[in-house]
Each structure stands twice: as C-alpha cells, then as structure tokens.
C-alpha cells in the first residue's frame, strides 16, 4: 500500500519528465503496433486469396499482354469451370491523386468467379446489359459520393483519353478483407475503342482468371494451361491467386522485413531512452534510498519502489499507446484508403503493444533497481547536502 | 554512574580503513569506547578525523575491519545485512545534518515510515506518530510537506521519526550544522529533553562548541584515536 502511494507521488515529482517518458513509450508502442499491422496486411492479401482461382498471365512479365484467342483453348482444359479475363486499366478520377484499382473485365464470368463481390440481382443485370456500364465497391462509392446512375469520367493513362461510364451497381464485400475500392467495366468497351483507335492494341488481355473444380486440381490445370502455349509467341505463367499475390509480396519482401526490423528498433530506442531517464531519476534519489535503508528498509523494498515506478511509467505509456491505436487505425483507413482498404489492428497486436511497453519498463528498471537496492548506505548518505 | 550500570555501547579495539586503489587510509585505529545508558555524548574533532565513520559504525550502517561493537548486548559487527537492517529499525534512531526527509511525503508520513516495518496497525501507527509529533511540538504541521517547513521544523520532524519506534539510542551527525542559532538551540534543547525525560542515550557529532556544551561528555577524535576532555 505504502509502496504504491510512494510510487504514485514519485511519478508526479518531475511531472514533465514523467509525462515525456509516458508519451515517448506511447508513441513507440503506437508505431510498433501500426508497423506490425501494416506488415500483417501486406501478407493478408495472399492469405485471403481463393485457391480455386488461377491467374494466367504472360510468362515474361505482368506488363505484357496475352491474345484473347487463348480463351477458348483455356476453356477446353479439363478441370476448368469458368474462364474470365481482364486488363489493368490504370485510369484516375479527375486528378492523379484520386487513384484506385480499375479493370476492364469480361463481366459474366468475372461475377461467377468472384462471389465475394455481392451485388443485387437487378444491379448485376443492369451492369451486364450496359456496354458502358461499370460497378464499384462500396468504399470507393462512398469516397467520391457516387450513386447508381451517375456518369463517371475517368482519365486514362495506359489507354489515353476521357473514358465515360455509367454506374450500374455498387457491390459490397462478403468479408472485411474483400477489396471494396475497385472499379470494373466491360472489356468489350475498351477493346472496341482500341480497334477503332489503336488496332495493334486490340484483342489483348492482361490476364485470364480460371476457375477450377477443386483446389486439388489447381496445380495440374496450371501445368496443362502453360503447356498449351509452350513455344508460342506469348508463353503463359499460370499460378493460384495466392501464388500470384505472393509474387507481388515477394517483390517487396525486403521492404517488409525492413519495416519489421524498424518496428523492433523503435521499441529498442525507447528502451534506451527510458532506461536513461530511470537511471537519472534513481541517481537523484540515491540519498533518499540510503535514508530509507538507514531506517531499516531492505533491498527488496527499494527494488519494489524503483522497479515499480519504471514499470508504472511504461505501462501507462503502453495503455496510452494501445488506446491511441484505435483512432490512428481508423484515420489510416479513411485517409490512406487507397493503400489500405481496411486497417484493423488485431487483438494479438494490441497485446504485443502492451508486452512491448512492459518490457520497456522491466529493462529500463533493471539497472536503477540494482543500483538502488545495493547502494552502500554510508556512500548514499554522502550524496545529500 | 557509568560504573553503576552496564554500558549500552561497548566498543573494543575498533579499526576501520578506506582503500583508494592501492592506497590504504586508516581512519580509526583500535578505538575503545563505552557509553552508559542515558548518556548524552558529544563527539568532536577536526574534519576528516573519522567522526561520521565512528557514528555510522555504532549505528550499524557501515562495517568495521576489526574489533567489536556491542549495542544493548547485541554484537552488531557479526550481523548480516538483513539482520542488521531489522536491528536498525528497532534499536537506533538517526538524526542527520540535512534532515533527510522524503520530500514527497508529509511530516506525518515521514514519521510513520519506520512504523511501516513493524506489526502495528493503521490506528496504532497514527497514535504513535501523533504522540511523537506532539513531543517535538509539530502536531499542527502533520500534513505539511518538508518544503513547507523551516529547517528547524524539518529537523524536529526528523527527530520525531528517529524516536517513533522508541529506540534506546539516538545517533546524530551534526544535527545543528545546517541551522541558525535559534533553531539550533531549540534542537539541542529537544535532544536534552529526550535524554532527561525519556531516558534516551544520545551520541552526537558536532563542530559547534556551544552544541557540545549541552552534552554530558565530550570526546575528541584525532588521528584515529579518542581522547577525553
Ligand atoms: N567511502 C570512502 N572512501 C574513501 N575514503 C573515505 C570514504 N569515506 C570517508 N573517507 C575518508 O575517511 C576519513 C574520515 O571521514 P569521515 O567522514 O568519518 O570524517 P568526519 O570526521 O566526519 O569529517 P567531517 O567533520 O568533515 O564530517 C576522511 O579522510 C575521508 O576522506
Ligand atoms: Mg562527518
């Protein structure tokens, strides 16, 4: 009881110093949590990917197209249920900063292959029937205030010009992780325009999406598709959607590892700073500790006092950091939505944040505690006056 | 009187030296010293003569190299650190030059500190604390923090803290060294009262001849040896 009261009073002794340390720990813990979440999200795209969908793309690189004529031959491969296709369109809305994913796709097969995009039957039908129609995810619609029936004009980058679409439907994701910041429109619309303006770019697709009957069939189907086009002008590379995502992820893996290292370094840095602060505090109070020992208090009492203060400061910082995580995450979700469709911090991460804060408290408390508990009384008393 | 009763402090052949690297600085060399119960002893001597060292040894907060120190029949030189701490808590009261009060605790809480190591309950502790604060004349300042008290008042709180566990012996290292004449006089009178009225034994280190006058016995420490005046 007394020790707690004493710790509490000591916390308020150097108010500014305590507050700065608490805030420092909070910021470090917050950064740690957000960086960890970021890394987790990066891999989660691959984790949520379907394993009954294959992606067939140009074997050389994603940026090279495939001829549309491959469609029928892929359909013929046994084990394949549905085939759709699309091209990365890469246009933006009004200004380059309003950038989001948009694809020209074959809608009928696409809607079958992506049951997680939930659209009312009427909107789905309207979309299928309108050659210049498009659909968008709910989040995207909310961002720009789009309503069904709106005319949306995108500015092309890969396919220059002004592109007009009529919004025919707004889908919502089946799960939280489902991407809701996409615009999809008819590949035919793109292709017809290309035929008239740049014929050499017509009849090409960026990728085929291939549905397979069972996940177990996926490897064989992938092999069968790729062997169909061996030694042709555009060889293909077919992989599961998951592998496809992972190929993105692996491109940036080094960065992710660096971010992970940074997240631990942030904690290490605050550990050093907090340890220095605690050491300074304990040094100032050496005379006081010696006095307490003179009165008969033992090393254990003093250890509780010093260690308790160190852990209390860091724990306060940790709690503050955890609490700040929620508004920070929701800010990221709204302000940086083009990078993070959702940014939810897992309870595991919150727990790790607290653990990180506690370890800061423990580590920074060790040295001052040891010093305070083992100080020779006669030496400590000389520090007064 | 010294012959009539057993001495409360009995020091035999006490030696203490400090080591600074290879250099050995002898501070006390073969001290023999008895203090009778209820005595008020002043220890004087030039700076660096080892007065504080001797006082600390009697109070069990420093360890001797050689010799024996018995306080109320307890041989304290052989006690381990933990036993020594428990012994200090119940048997000695300390008064320091700079009062050594805990700044974040009130006068009441400072005086209560030594009682936290006893089995007394909250109510009993309160009674004890109020009683000793009354003795030092600060019952009305219980809730004040040290920074809200004058030097003399702080020293009186420190004296209350030293006597709250009712130890037989009090040690004081220059208790008036940081005080003006009037406050110093008050503190000395208070210590004198503790000896006369409450039968305490007081060992006080001082530079001040006026302070030493209050004592019954003055001992001089010089070049590691004690002499009587
Ligand atoms: N921890 C230590 N290490 C080395 N030497 C020390 C240590 N403590 C004290 N000394 C030396 O021991 C001698 C006695 O010191 P002590 O503090 O007992 O003197 P003192 O008589 O109380 O002096 P003062 O009147 O100035 O307080 C001094 O020469 C001092 O330098
Ligand atoms: Mg001294």
Q: Is the CB of B18 under 6 A from ligand 1?
A: yes
Q: What is the pLDDT of residue B20?
A: 87
In this structure, are residues A24 and A275 in contact, taking their beta carbons and an 8 Å threshold?
Answer: no
Higher pLDDT, A40 or A312: A312
Q: What is the pLDDT of residue A355?
A: 95
A293/B61 CB distance under 8 A: yes
Q: What is the pLDDT of residue B228?
A: 67
B62/A296 CB distance under 8 A: no
| Rounded average pLDDT over A292-308 | 94
CB pairs under 8 A between A and B: 62
Render pLDDT for A118-131 as a digit per residue (tens, 0 to 9).
Answer: 999 999 999 999 99
Q: What is the pLDDT of residue A45?
A: 67
- The residues of A whose Cβ lies within 8 A of any Cβ of B are 2, 6, 9-10, 12-13, 287-288, 291-299, 376-378, 381, 384-385
| Closest residue by CA, ligand 1 atom 5 | B18
Render pLDDT for A161-172 as a digit per residue (tens, 0 to 9).
Answer: 999 999 999 999
- Mutation for B interface: A7, A296, A297, A383, most B CBs within 10 A: A296
Q: Is the CB of B123 under 6 A from ligand 1?
A: no
Report the atom number in ligand 1 closest to the C-alpha of A376. Answer: 1
CA distance B75 to A155: 95
In the reported structure, the alpha carbon of residue A323 is separated from the centroid of ligand 1 by a whole-number distance in angstroms of 53
Helix or strand run (H / E) with residue A337: none
pLDDT-based confidence at residue A336 (cuts at 50, 70, 90): confident
| Rounded average pLDDT over A174-197 | 90
Write the secondary structure of chain B as one string of H (helix), E (strand) and C (coil): CCCCCCEEEEEEEEEEEEEECCEEEEEEEEEEEEEECCCEEEEECCCCCCHHHHHHHHCCCCCCCEEEEEECCEEHHHCCHHHHHHHHHHHEEEECCCCCCCCCCCHHHHHHHHHHHCCCCHHHHHHHHHHHHHHCCCHHHCCCCHHHCCHHHHHHHHHHHHHCCCCCEEEEECCCCCCCHHHHHHHHHHHHHHHHHHCCEEEEECCCHHHHHHCCEEEEEECCEEEEC
Whether residue A38 is predicted with pLDDT greater than 70 in this model: the reply is: yes
Whether residue A311 is predicted with pLDDT greater than 80 in this model: the reply is: yes
Q: What is the pLDDT of residue B1?
A: 42
Neighbours of A149 (CB within 10 A): 9
Whether residue A333 is predicted with pLDDT greater than 90 in this model: the reply is: no
Weakly modelled stretches of chain B, pLDDT under 70: 1-5, 228-229
Cβ burial, residue A351 (10 Å; 0-12/13-18/19+): exposed
Q: What is the pLDDT of residue B2?
A: 42
Report the atom number in ligand 1 closest to the C-alpha of B49. Answer: 21
Q: What is the pLDDT of residue B3?
A: 46
A384/B96 CB distance under 8 A: yes
In the reported structure, the alpha carbon of residue A10 is separated from the centroid of ligand 2 by a whole-number distance in angstroms of 29
| Rounded average pLDDT over A278-307 | 93
| Closest residue by CA, ligand 1 atom 10 | B18
Whether residue A338 is predicted with pLDDT greater than 90 in this model: the reply is: no
Q: Is the CB of B53 under 6 A from ligand 1?
A: yes
Render pLDDT for A226-249 as a digit per residue (tens, 0 to 9).
Answer: 999 999 889 999 988 877 777 766
In the reported structure, the alpha carbon of residue B34 is separated from the centroid of ligand 1 by a whole-number distance in angstroms of 22
Residues of A in contact with B94 (CB under 8 A): 294-295
As for the ipTM of the complex, it is 0.94
| Rounded average pLDDT over A156-183 | 90
Q: How far is CA B131 from CA A55, A165, A252, B74, B146, in A?
A: 88, 91, 74, 29, 19
A2/B62 CB distance under 8 A: no
Render pLDDT for A81-114 as a digit per residue (tens, 0 to 9).
Answer: 999 999 999 899 998 888 888 999 999 999 999 9
pLDDT-based confidence at residue A343 (cuts at 50, 70, 90): confident
Mean pLDDT taken over chain A? 90
């Amino acid at each position: 009881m007394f020790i707690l009261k004493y710790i509490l009073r000591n916390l308020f002794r150097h108010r500014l110093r305590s507050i700065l340390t608490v805030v420092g720990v909070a910021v470090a813990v917050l950064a740690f949590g957000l960086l960890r979440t970021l890394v987790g999200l990066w891999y989660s795209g691959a984790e949520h990917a379907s394993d009954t969908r294959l992606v067939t793309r140009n074997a050389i690189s994603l940026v090279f197209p495939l001829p549309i004529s491959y469609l029928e031959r892929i359909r013929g491969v046994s084990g394949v249920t549905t085939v759709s296709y699309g091209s990365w369109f890469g246009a933006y809305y009004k200004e380059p900063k309003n950038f989001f994913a948009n694809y020209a796709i074959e809608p009928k097969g696409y809607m079958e292959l992506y049951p997680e995009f939930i659209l009312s039957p009427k909107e789905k039908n309207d979309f299928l029937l309108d050659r210049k129609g498009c659909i968008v995810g709910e989040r995207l619609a909310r961002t720009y205030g789009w309503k069904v029936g709106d005319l949306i004009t995108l500015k092309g980058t890969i396919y220059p010009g002004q592109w007009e679409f009529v919004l025919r439907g707004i889908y919502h994701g089946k799960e939280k992780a489902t991407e809701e910041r996409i615009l999809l429109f008819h590949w035919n619309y793109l292709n017809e325009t290309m035929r008239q303006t740049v014929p050499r770019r017509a009849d090409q697709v960026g990728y085929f999406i291939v549905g397979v009957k069972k996940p177990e069939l996926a490897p064989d189907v992938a092999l069968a598709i790729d062997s169909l086009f061996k030694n042709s002008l555009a060889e293909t590379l077919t992989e599961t959607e998951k592998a496809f995502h992972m190929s993105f992820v692996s491109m940036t893996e080094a960065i992710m590892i660096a971010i992970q290292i940074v997240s631990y370094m942030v904690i290490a840095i605050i550990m050093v700073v907090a340890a220095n602060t605690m050491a300074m505090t304990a040094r100032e109070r050496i005379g006081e500790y010696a006095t307490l020992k003179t009165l008969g208090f033992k090393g254990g009492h003093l250890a509780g006092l010093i260690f308790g203060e160190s852990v209390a400061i860091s724990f306060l910082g940790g709690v503050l950091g955890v609490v700040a995580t929620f508004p920070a995450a929701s800010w990221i979700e709204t302000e940086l939505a083009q990078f993070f469709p959702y940014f939810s911090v897992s309870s595991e991460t919150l727990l790790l944040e607290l653990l990180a804060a506690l370890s800061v408290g423990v580590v920074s408390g060790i040295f001052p505690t040891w010093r305070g508990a083992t100080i020779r009384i006669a030496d400590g008393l000389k520090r007064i006056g | 009187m010294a012959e009539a009763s057993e001495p409360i402090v009995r020091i035999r052949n006490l030696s203490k030296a400090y080591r600074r690297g290879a250099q050995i600085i002898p501070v006390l060399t073969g001290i023999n010293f008895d203090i009778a119960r209820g005595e008020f002893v002043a220890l004087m001597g030039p700076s660096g003569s080892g007065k504080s060292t001797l006082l600390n040894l009697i109070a069990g907060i420093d360890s001797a190299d050689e010799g024996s120190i018995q306080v109320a029949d307890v041989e304290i030189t052989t006690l381990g650190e933990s036993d020594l701490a428990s012994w200090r808590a119940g048997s000695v009261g300390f008064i320091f030059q700079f009062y050594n009060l805990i700044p974040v605790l009130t006068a009441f809480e400072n005086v209560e500190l030594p009682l936290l190591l006893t089995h007394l309950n909250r109510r009993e502790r309160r009674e004890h604390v109020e009683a000793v604060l009354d003795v030092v004349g600060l019952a009305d300042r219980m809730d004040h923090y040290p920074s809200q008290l004058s030097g003399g008042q702080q020293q009186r709180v420190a004296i209350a803290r030293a006597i709250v566990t009712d130890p037989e012996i009090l040690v004081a290292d220059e208790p008036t060294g940081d005080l003006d004449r009037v406050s110093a006089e008050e503190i000395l009178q208070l210590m004198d009262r503790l000896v006369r009225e409450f039968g305490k034994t007081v060992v006080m280190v001082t530079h001040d001849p006026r302070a030493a006058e209050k004592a019954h016995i003055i001992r001089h420490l010089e070049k590691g040896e004690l002499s009587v005046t």
